[in-house]
Amino acid sequence: MNDPVCPAANASSLAPAFEAENLCKTYKGGRAPALDHVTLTIPRGVIFGMLGPNGAGKTTLLSILCGLLRPSAGQVRVDGKDVRYEAACIKRVLGVVPQEPAIYPTLTARENLGYFGRMQGLSGDRLEERIRACLEIADLVEVADEQVNHFSGGFKRRLNLVIGLIHEPQLLILDEPTVAIDPHSRYFIHQRLRELHAAGVTMILSTHILEEAEQLCQEIAIINQGKIVAQGPLEGLLRSQRGNCIEVRLESDPPDSLAATLRQLPGITDVLVMGRNFRIVTPAPDEVVAPLVATLKANDMRVLSLSFGTASLEQFFLSRTADRGAS
């Protein structure tokens, strides 16, 4: 069978890296859709953070974007190509690094790279060149001929990463690439991802480590209960929070009724309690602070610190995924 004719690289380079339009997915027997009319555009040249609680729909979305799962409805394009009809063309430009290392434990690192390189259509001198390059990227040259089942978790993660890079993809999907590894290995992988980004590789990074997303990503989307609840440039999203919030730290644990009590104050639109810390969202921080402090004092809650205009990705994430019905 002849290879499919794929559009020239410069013809598709004007298209976004990934596009999803009204994407839906319902699993048989599921009480709610895993994805509910998700529309998402990921531009080229970014590390794009895909964030969400467990069961939010991240893995389903990533599986559809890389062609491993068919949606119930909606359209997906990768590199300007429809995943339904041009999967072979997409395979040439897309690399996938799964959460569970896709490696053969009884093979060596070199043998694993050779196997997956051949799966991507590489052979001969080109394959050997890419094996050498990937071993260097992962800093595994000295252990290249050791069986992978003797590797540490960090070394397995490094190998898992470069297996996804064996065919030099310009688009990369990474699902929790640093889960359950030591800080040194995580830092190593972060540095390699920065280098890939600087070389022009577009990435989707799914992670539960919000600090990781904050350090690496230029844009993010937060998915919750199958819906996109926030999307855009990271700095812009955080900046939108900084101008309308008050951060408070208490001396002791507050009562469970704190959020409900503070929501009764005029001008407060939302309250997020995180242990002894809580965040107030308000369009008028200067007007709210006096009644806020008075209410806390009347309820025997001592304030250790109070600040205006602070926001982290963790705070932003919790505000978008919290149960609004909770007190």
Coil, strand or helix at 261: helix
Helix (H) or strand (E) holding 175: strand 171-175
Please report the pLDDT score of residue 5 as a whole number. Answer: 65
Domain architecture of the chain: domains with CATH: 9-235 (3.40.50.300), 244-308 (3.30.70.100)
What's residue 323's pLDDT?
A: 60
Collapsed DSSP state (helix, strand, coil) of residue 174: strand
Crossing angle between the packed helical segments 153-163 and 109-119, to the nearest 10 degrees: 20
Least confident of 4-18, 68-82, 126-140, 263-277: 4-18
pLDDT for residue 143: 98
Given strand 81-82, what is the order of strands in its sheet? 35-42, 18-25, 73-78, 81-82
CA distances from 292 to 271, 279, 288, 295 (A): 12, 12, 6, 5
Bridge partners of 223?
228
pLDDT digits (tens, 9 = 90+) for 164-209: 999 999 999 999 999 999 999 999 999 999 999 999 999 999 999 9
- Give which of 238, 196, 231, 317 is closest to 20, Cα–Cα: 231
- Nearest 5°: the CA angle 172, 206, 64 is 65
Read off the pLDDT of residues 80-105 as tens digits, 9 standing for 90 and up: 999 999 999 999 999 999 999 999 99
Name the band, by pLDDT with cuts 50, 70 and 90, for residue 314. confident
Question: Residue 113 belongs to what H/E stretch?
Answer: helix 109-119
pLDDT for res 132? 98
**pLDDT the model gives residue 243:** 73
| Tokens representing residue 169 in the block | 């993809």
pTM, whole model, 2 decimals?
0.82
Pick from 284, 276, 245, 270: nearest CA to 321: 270
